[in-house]
Amino acid sequence: MEDNHHFNAGTGSNLTVAGTVECDASIMNSAEDFGAIGATSGIKNPIKAAYRILLGSQETDPHGRIPPMLVSGNTPSDLAVDPSEMITSKARSEWERWKTVIQTEQQPYGVTNDNIVQDTVGAILCTVDGEVAAGVSSGGILLKPTGRIGEAACFGAGCWASGARDSLNAVACSISGAGEMIMRAFLAKELAESVRRPDCDAHEEIERTLNKFIDMCARRGSDHANAGVILIVAEHHEDGVVRPRLWCGFTTQSFAVAYATSMDSPPKAVILRRPNRESDKSGLYITSLPLS
Amino acid sequence: MEDNHHFNAGTGSNLTVAGTVECDASIMNSAEDFGAIGATSGIKNPIKAAYRILLGSQETDPHGRIPPMLVSGNTPSDLAVDPSEMITSKARSEWERWKTVIQTEQQPYGVTNDNIVQDTVGAILCTVDGEVAAGVSSGGILLKPTGRIGEAACFGAGCWASGARDSLNAVACSISGAGEMIMRAFLAKELAESVRRPDCDAHEEIERTLNKFIDMCARRGSDHANAGVILIVAEHHEDGVVRPRLWCGFTTQSFAVAYATSMDSPPKAVILRRPNRESDKSGLYITSLPLS
């Protein structure tokens, strides 16, 4: 997805105020190993760099240094490309348009929230044995300051994975939306932990956690409580079989999700749309998609 | 303290594997506003840069952009100095000595944990009205990879402040130690939240939270569960007076702390030492210092 120009991740990312691409990405596994890369320029696939940090964090240093979880900036590596190759003409024209709006203090004309590309990408997986992993990759918000590190690189914020332990379910989730608010809420960790009890009602737990997030945003004066979540809960049934369940929750008008299983083909892609209900003040939509 | 060559923060910081200074710092206030700077080179006082980010986060952007909480790398600003000015001869000689140890795969000779400088600095305050703030500044671990961002820049990890709300106490804390482990534990947030209930036993809560941290480190195969904490709890008494209490907790052999009040002079400085008790397996020492 980082190579697809339509997404705000890798090539095609939103540009910073300086007109550059700076990406964040992170990845986590069942053992809660974690690797993240923040505000990096010229790495074609930031998630691969994040994965390399995760692998490094599994190694023991003979001199007692603890390996990093989060690395920022340019990491010289075989993953590097010319940073300008990651700038698409669409990203450049959006940058020019908004730069003008801001410099001339115009009221944005003909631009609604729906026109603003915020398509950070996330991926989660669950094996038949109940192993889980989660990742997220983002180009961040358009015209962000250079060096800004967002939720996609922060532990507990943009993605989370925890394996089954004691009586707890395995769970993986990935989130995008209002980055700094998601960081404040430790939203990925909070969501994942809320659904680990095997007897819990996942729908209720996700609703409670996202409503808490919306309340926190309101309390801090932000009316952009944007968040979109994909979440897998791997329920261990008594017959020894793992039954993963895929949940989606979002506060935006629409949310795109694609999924596949090894038992079922071909992959499915849907754009979920929130019903317009005036009584639904929270503007929250939660649903579970059948995986088999 | 960032200007004092004896501390691992600002000038005098540990050097990265590339022989450069890269600093992390963060600051937080009663309203839970937060600003952080990560892996920055050539900013003489990283805490001032973090404070600027905090101030920026309080502003509302007319175009809906959420201001950053964490900014990495070189921020061109009036705070900048020639990065080489921040390298001290002591830091350079430690770097050379350990670089040789690592390159030649020597066993470190004549070096014990006590010789390793880990003196990250933290500061917390509480006003007579019960307003609190917390900050932390660190040069990170010696020979860290360039670009590594540690606990001192991560929300929830290196420092925390929360004002009195409903029936909860105000609290501020600042932490140093094994950075990535502190990030994993969200240790500043966990510690601060553990002591906010006015009827809680702060000693027990700090002990429980630090023991949970030590257990997590052990579970992840790390025997370096280093953490040192300063923590203020502002207890609101029935007579309307705020009585701040200063707590220290640490897993290391010693811990240096200095404190002052507007009612009492002069400032006091102490080096706390953990009693050597064989039965004390956790290697944890917690004490409260009288502020008046």
Least confidently predicted of A6-10, A77-81, A264-268, A279-283: A279-283
Q: Residue A72 is nearest to which of B38, B67, B143, comparing CB atoms?
A: B38
Nearest CA-CA distance, residue A264 and chain B, Å: 36
At residue B286, what is the residue type?
A: I
The answer to whether residues A195 and A231 touch, using CB atoms and an 8 Å cutoff, is: yes
How close does chain A come to B134, measured CA to CA in Å? 16
Asked if A69's CB is within 8 angstroms of B72's CB, the reply is no
Residue B34's SS3 state is: strand
pLDDT the model gives residue B113: 46
Q: Is the ipTM of this complex over 0.90?
A: yes
**Which chain B residue has its CA at the smallest distance from A59's CA?**
B221
pLDDT confidence bin for B239, thresholds 50/70/90: confident
Interface of A with B in 231-260 (CB under 8 A): none
Higher-pLDDT residue of B242 and B272 is B272
Inspect the interface and report whether the beta carbons of A178 and B60 lie closer than 8 Å.
Answer: no
Q: How many percent of chain B have pLDDT more than 70? A: 92
* CB contact A225 to B (< 8 Å): no
Residue A132 in tokens: 């889980």
**Collapsed DSSP state (helix, strand, coil) of residue A10:** coil
Residue B32, phi-psi category: left (phi > 0), alpha (psi -120 to 50), beta (remainder): left
Return the pLDDT at B155. 98
Nearest residue of chain B to residue A38 (CA atoms): B72
Return the residue in B109, B148, B182, B222 with the most chain A beta carbons within 10 A, the one to mutate for interface testing. B148
When pLDDT is cut at 50, 70 and 90, the band that residue B32 belongs to is: very high
Categorize the per-residue pLDDT at A6 as very low, low, confident or very high, splitting at 50, 70 and 90.
confident
At A291, the amino acid letter reads L
pLDDT digits (tens, 9 = 90+) for B105-136: 665 554 444 445 568 899 999 998 889 999 99
pLDDT at position A110: 45
Measured between beta carbons, the chain B residues lying within 8 angstroms of A184 are 32, 34, 69, 155
Q: Does the structure show a pLDDT above 50 at B141?
A: yes
Given an 8 Å threshold on Cβ–Cβ distance, is A154 in contact with B149? Answer: no
Mean pLDDT on A262-280: 79
Q: Tell me what the pLDDT averaged over chain A comes to.
A: 88
Q: Determine the pLDDT at residue B279.
A: 55
Instruction: State the Rg of chain A over Cα.
Output: 19
Number of separate domains in chain B: 1
Nearest-by-Cβ selection for A71 from B145, B189, B224: B145
Q: What is the pLDDT of residue A179?
A: 92
| Spatial CA neighbour of A60 closest among B157, B224, B108, B141 | B224
Mean residue pLDDT of chain B comes to 88
Of A244, A250, A67, A240, residue with least CA distance to A161:
A244
Cross-chain Cβ contact A147/B73 below 8 Å: yes
**Is the residue at B46 inside a domain?**
no
Residue B142: which of B117, B172, B109 has the closest Cα? B117
Domain-located, residue A204: yes
What separation in angstroms does the CA of B81 have from each of B74, B77, B112, B140, B227?
Answer: 11, 9, 34, 19, 31
In the predicted model, what is the mean pLDDT of residues B49-74? 89
| B39 has a chain A CB within 8 A of its CB | yes
Question: Is the torsion defined by CA of A222, A224, A225, A230 positive or negative?
Answer: negative
Report pLDDT for B184. Answer: 96
d(CA B189, CA B156): 5
Q: Do A68 and B148 touch (CB under 8 A)?
A: yes
Q: What is the mean pLDDT of residues B268-282?
A: 76
CB atoms B183 and A65 under 8 Å: no
What confidence score (pLDDT) does residue B111 get?
A: 46
> Which residue among B11, B16, B40, B120 is the active-site one?
B120
- Indicate whether B149 belongs to any domain: no
User: How confident is the model over A220-264, as pLDDT tens digits?
Assistant: 988 778 999 999 999 877 777 888 999 999 998 889 999 998 876
**Is B270 touching A (CB cutoff 8 A)?**
no
Which pLDDT band holds residue B156 (cuts at 50, 70, 90)? very high
Nearest to B154 among A71, A154, A181 (CB): A154
User: Cα–Cα distance between A187 and A30 in angstroms, integer?
Assistant: 18
Strands B34-40 and B70-72: parallel
Q: Is B186 on the interface with A (CB under 8 A)?
A: yes
For testing contact with chain A, the best of B59, B180, B216 (most A CBs within 10 A): B180
Supply the pLDDT for residue B241: 81
Query: Alpha-carbon distance A124 to A132, whole Å?
Result: 7
Contact B128, B9 (CB under 8 A): no
Percent of chain A predicted with pLDDT > 70 = 92
Question: Does B52 have pLDDT greater than 80?
Answer: yes
Give pTM, 2 decimals.
Answer: 0.92
- Here the tokens at position B10 are 């600002």
Nearest to A71 among B62, B147, B178 (CB): B147
User: Residue A117's pLDDT is what?
Assistant: 56
In a domain, B47, yes or no: no
Determine contact: B20 vs chain A, CB below 8 A: no
pLDDT at A282 over 90: no
- A12 pLDDT above the threshold of 70: yes
Query: What span, in angstroms and rounded, lies between the C-alpha atoms of A284 and A228?
Result: 10
Collapsing DSSP states into helix, strand and coil, what is residue A34? strand
Residues spanned by the domain of B240: 157-289
- The candidate with the shortest Cα–Cα distance to B13, out of B135, B152, B199, B192, is B152
What ranges make up the beta strands (E) of A90-189?
121-126, 132-138, 159-162, 170-177
User: Which residues does chain B have within 8 Å of residue A108's beta carbon, measured at their own beta carbons?
Assistant: 63
Q: Is B63 within a domain?
A: no
Q: Is residue A136 part of a domain?
A: no
**Distances, alpha carbon A67 to alpha carbons A52, A267, A280, in Å:** 11, 37, 46
pLDDT tens for A164-217 read 988 899 999 999 999 999 999 999 999 999 999 988 999 999 999 999 999 999
Q: Answer yes or no: is A102 within a domain.
A: no
pLDDT of residue B78: 84
Please write the tens of the pLDDT for every residue from B171-216: 999 999 999 999 999 999 999 999 999 889 999 999 999 999 999 9
Please tell me the number of Cα atoms within 13 Å of A20 on its side-chain side: 16
Q: Tell me, what CATH number does A278's domain have?
A: 3.60.20.30
Residues in chain B: 292
Q: Are B138 and B152 in contact (CB under 8 A)?
A: yes
Lowest mean pLDDT among A5-14, A37-46, A222-231, A281-290: A281-290
Whether B280 shows a pLDDT value over 70: the answer reads no
Calculate the dihedral angle through the C-alpha atoms of A156, B68, A110, A23, rounding to the nearest 10 degrees.
Answer: -60
- Whether A275 is in a domain gets the answer yes
Q: Tell me if A141 and B69 make a contact (CB, 8 A cut-off).
A: no
> Across the interface, do A180 and B156 touch by the CB < 8 Å criterion?
no
